[in-house]
Copies of this chain bind each other. A is one copy, B any other.
Amino acid sequence: MATRVIGRVLATVDVPIEMARSTTAAALRQTGWGDKEAAMQADIMVSAELCGNNQGLVKMFQPKLMAPAPGAAPPAVERDALASAVINANQSPGMLAALMAADLACDKVLGAAGRGGGSAAELPAIAIVGAYNSSTSSGQLAYYAEHMAKRGVVGICLANSPEFVAAAGGAKPVFGTNPMAVGIPTGAGAPPFVFDMATSAIALFGVLTAKAKGEPLPPGVAYGKDGKWTTNAAEALDGGAIATFGGHKGAGLALVIELLAGALSNAAVLGQCESKKAAKSWGHTVIAIRHEALVDGFGGKAASVLAAVKASGPSIRLPGESSARIAAQRRAAGTMPIPKTIWDVIEETARHGLK
């Protein structure tokens, strides 16, 4: 594995993709996870890292934080109904809760194997699953939306997290980075279209990564403790706040996701708890739609829209396009670059366990 130095401080190592996945899973087992949960979380983080997303293996930088939370139990389904359910994550990580919610929503509209059969006509075309009481972020939300689209449904995933984001300059943080992701099947054999965005001007892991790399933040994405703009990641993290994107519309969307992924999923909400950070109850709301119930040939229609938008001008880049290109290049090479400081921790933990 070659070590490369990018910029001032960022050294990366090129790691074979399968080794990244298996070593990360081994490190997670060392922190206390069973085989299945370790493999699931490793796949989610490696998938994010593979496409250059900033919510990937950075999560492993402090492996202690990835260990099962004290007193945690496996996520459990509550209020299970025809077209809805709620998952109590029981302080399990957001990754496990979000994937379980995504699969349960898909099962409800597609019919789960072993559910006793039943034709599509008897199944609801749409289902909603909320998840609350997870102890950490689910990471790159696109993973779950893509997973759903690969199962053949339209997937809408919303996530709510503790207070990092302020609704305006000079205001206290109230929102999470409150992302939304949408996965759209584009026809048999074709990769799904996936849209994933935080309603904050930058993802929390973007700020953490900037701090780790010692790089400045872009202008207009974070406030310092004094409520004024800062490009210093450490200042933003120390009593400051992240901004919402896109003016008052972005702030409104952040609020809507706070309501749909926080209040509706039964997660902790401000005003009913002192602090969402202290309550440690991250929320997710996942919606699956069996498009065949509404329209024939949805995949082809979606592909047609995407092609028309791509062809509408010389400089159009579709959402997910550069992520997909980066992932494809890395798959072709068989290796992916991982920050050396992070990879060292993963390898060390896989070999010798938590220190």
Main secondary structure, interface of A, reads mixed
- A271, B304: Cβ atoms under 8 Å? yes
Name the residue in A175, A246, A248 with the highest tally of chain B Cβ atoms < 10 Å from its Cβ.
A246
B-contacting 9-mer, from A18-26, A50-58, A294-302, A339-347: A294-302
**CB nearest to A291 among chain B residues:** B264
Assembled-state Cα–Cα distance A95/B101 (Å):
35
**CB nearest to A252 among chain B residues:** B319
- B167, A270: Cβ atoms under 8 Å? no
- A294, B265: Cβ atoms under 8 Å? yes
**CB nearest to A272 among chain B residues:** B304
Instruction: Assess whether A44 is interfacial by the CB under 8 Å rule.
Output: no
Instruction: Assess whether A32 is interfacial by the CB under 8 Å rule.
Output: no
Q: How large is the interface on A (under 10, 10 to 19, 20 to 34, 35 or more residues)?
A: 35 or more
Contacts of A304 in B (CB 8 A): 263, 269-272
**Pairs across A and B, CB under 8 Å, 27 listed:** A81-B125, A83-B125, A84-B125, A86-B295, A128-B289, A154-B260, A166-B312, A166-B313, A167-B312, A169-B313, A170-B314, A173-B312, A174-B308, A184-B256, A193-B259, A195-B252, A195-B255, A245-B249, A255-B306, A255-B319, A262-B305, A263-B298, A263-B305, A264-B298, A269-B304, A271-B304, A272-B300
Name A's B-contacting residues (CB within 8 A).
Answer: 79, 81-84, 86, 121-128, 130, 154, 166-175, 182, 184, 193, 195, 197, 227, 245-250, 252-253, 255-256, 258-260, 262-266, 269-272, 287, 289, 291, 293-295, 298, 300-302, 304-309, 312-319
